[in-house]
Structure 1
Amino acid sequence: MKKQILKDYFFIMFGATLMGLSISVFMIDARVVPGGVSGIAMALHFINENIPTGLALWLMNIPLFVWGIKELGWGFARRTIFGFSISAFSIDLFHGDFPGLEFFALNKSEAIVDLLQNDFLFLIIIGAVLLGVGMGFVLKHQGTTGGADVVAAILQRRFGYKPGNSIMVMNFFIITFATAVIYINNLSPNRPAISLAFYALMLTFIISRIVDVMIDGFDYARSALIISEKGEEIADAIMNRMSRGATALKGRGLYRNTDREILMTVITRREIIMLESLIKEIDPDAFVIISTVHEVLGEGFKRRA
């Protein structure tokens, strides 16, 4: 148990550091905000560059953290404050905002400056991937970096709002606010502020997809429901030729009001073609529904660490 907790904290630290690195090196100077509380912190930094983004992020997370404890309990507390503290520290460290530690300022490196000037899109994509991977590590190990995640969890608890929808709405307003700050202060003379808003929207989309892959993996399982007059033959073939299990469910066809069995099996994505060929061989008229399954626990499938 203690070993697993240490492992979780290590990956939360690693993920939060990646998140801080991506924001400080690839996003702040590019004027592209990732949404969330970090987006507000970046906007404050744009207004006054004497306000370090990481420090602003940390200070804004404190009241949200206290609110979260009150509404959600102490269960999330330790990992949350650990996550957003590491993330905030990493942002200011890699942006050169700590006196005497300016040599950590990777945003001033020749490669990053070249990308900022000559390959802006690639710069944003790298930042999005790093941020998504970092966030994926944090979430996969039961951590959080606070901010919008806490607000979304509270809104879900109090009002039943879906967290994904809440975060999407919050990000829209945060990106709009940051875009207005950039436009009013003319902080991006080489690119229109509205184009940076579109980059920000693309950024949030890439991040969400990367997080999904980090948590669910590339190889989503598939669930198949099979209705056939030759259900027993198909079940035998699934078990003997594919080495997969099958379950017979009781069903009733309402059109003819007849009882029949429905086969259910779970396979990997790579086995879909084999299953389809097998069913077509035994009963070309079988009715088959194949759907995506994001997580399967049990024999024949990987267990989550």
Structure 2
Amino acid sequence: MIKVFTASTIGTKIKRLLLITLAAALSAVNIKTFVRAGGLLPGGFTGLTLLIQECFLQFAGIEIPFSFVYFLFNCIPVIISFRFIGRRYTLYSVLMIVLSGLLIDFLPGYPITDDILLLAVFGGGINGVASSLCLLAGASGGGTDFIAIFISEKYGRDAWNYILAGNIVILAVGGWLFGWEKALYSILFQFTTTQVLNYLYRRYQKITLFVITNHTEAVFEVIKVNTNHGATVFHGHGCYNNAERDLVYSVVSGDEVRRVIPKIKQVDPAAFINVVRSKQVSGRFYLRPND
């Protein structure tokens, strides 16, 4: 089969590559400027790698490259992701892993403050932005992300609690070896990262749409085509105008809302739309597969 590359597909690939490159550069600058200056421990394999580096440096006087340890940890998760999650997703993620690892080793550090609180807050924020850019490019930073997605998709179980437990172990070991103050500030770093990530990247958020309309089929078609989600229609009576109206009920992903609402307004400018964030959804919910 001969693959045909259109301007659209080439543009998408270039956009993904640029986002990953920017994410890797931001991540590396963050590690050299904020994380290492404050002695902080990020979550996942990045934090574990930094912890091992610090242990070798403090107790053996040996400075080992970040990229060597980081690549070693990611070997098995990359294989799992390539086989079970998605090949392109894995290849783009490997690009993120390689670029960030090498840049962390070769970029010079520029500590800008010795205030550990500022380092934790702003470092966590930048880390959240870098992670969001990577996710928007259809990739991840690797490591524990691969493991969490594999467990969630393969076994239908939420693996993030296990990842959190692993991060707690890393922080506990770091606090015991190098002081609890930095470990506690590292929790603030991770919290800030999570808040920024939740704000910027909304794929895993569930949003309920209540659309009151007279153009039921057209509204449902917009939802189906743009999100691949279904909908349920309730027939009702508008008390203000004493008119028959339909209520279209659907649950979509958070990153799909901004795309769907303008298109609903195009097919029915008079539609009344109520957007509600859903805390938990039980049942079948379509989530776009990783490519």
| 1:127 maps onto 2:123 in alignment | yes
Aligned-residue offset at 1:55: 3.0
Provide TM-score, normalisation by structure 2: 0.66
Taking the TM superposition and a 5 Å limit, the aligned residue runs for 1:171-182 are 171-182=167-178
| 1:23 maps onto 2:31 in alignment | yes
Work out the CA distance in 2 between the residues paired with 1:248 and 1:181: 56
| 1:80 maps onto 2:88 in alignment | no
Please list every run of 5 or more consecutive structure 2 residues that lacks an aligned counterpart in the other structure.
1-8, 58-62, 215-230, 237-243, 265-291
| 1:14 maps onto 2:22 in alignment | yes
* Aligned counterpart, 1:160: 156
- Counterpart of 2:137, as a letter, is H
Aligned length: 225
Task: Indicate which of 19, 37, 59 corresponds to 2:72.
Answer: 59
Taking the TM superposition and a 5 Å limit, the aligned residue runs for 1:132-211 are 132-182=128-178, 193-211=179-197
Query: Match of 1:199, SS?
Result: helix
Contact 1:35/1:204, CA 8 A, preserved across alignment: yes
Aligned-residue offset at 1:44: 0.7
* Aligned counterpart, 1:295: 256
Q: Aligned pair in 2 of structure 1 residues 293, 27: CA closer, same or farther (>3 Å)?
A: closer
Contact 2:234/2:248, CA 8 A, preserved across alignment: no
Task: Indicate which of 27, 32, 41 corresponds to 1:33.
Answer: 41
Q: Aligned pair in 2 of structure 1 residues 248, 36: CA closer, same or farther (>3 Å)?
A: closer
Please list every run of 5 or more consecutive structure 1 residues that lacks an aligned counterpart in the other structure.
95-103, 183-192, 233-246, 253-259, 267-291
* Aligned counterpart, 2:228: none
* Aligned counterpart, 1:105: 109
Taking the TM superposition and a 5 Å limit, the aligned residue runs for 1:151-300 are 151-182=147-178, 193-216=179-202, 223-224=209-210, 249-250=233-234, 263=247, 295-296=256-257, 297-298=259-260, 300=262
Contact 1:26/1:124, CA 8 A, preserved across alignment: yes
* Aligned counterpart, 2:6: none
Aligned-residue offset at 1:222: 7.7
* Aligned counterpart, 1:2: 10
Contact 1:175/1:197, CA 8 A, preserved across alignment: yes
Q: Aligned pair in 2 of structure 1 residues 24, 55: CA closer, same or farther (>3 Å)?
A: farther
Work out the CA distance in 1 between the residues paired with 2:93 and 2:10: 18
Residue by residue over 1:254-280, the C-alpha shift from the partner in whole angstroms, topping out at 9 and shown as x without a partner, is xxxxxx9774599xxxxxxxxxxxxxx
Q: CA RMSD in A?
A: 3.4
Q: Aligned pair in 2 of structure 1 residues 165, 3: CA closer, same or farther (>3 Å)?
A: same
Q: Aligned pair in 2 of structure 1 residues 158, 250: CA closer, same or farther (>3 Å)?
A: closer
Structure number with larger C-alpha Rg: 1
Contact 1:248/1:262, CA 8 A, preserved across alignment: no
- Counterpart of 2:234, as a letter, is K
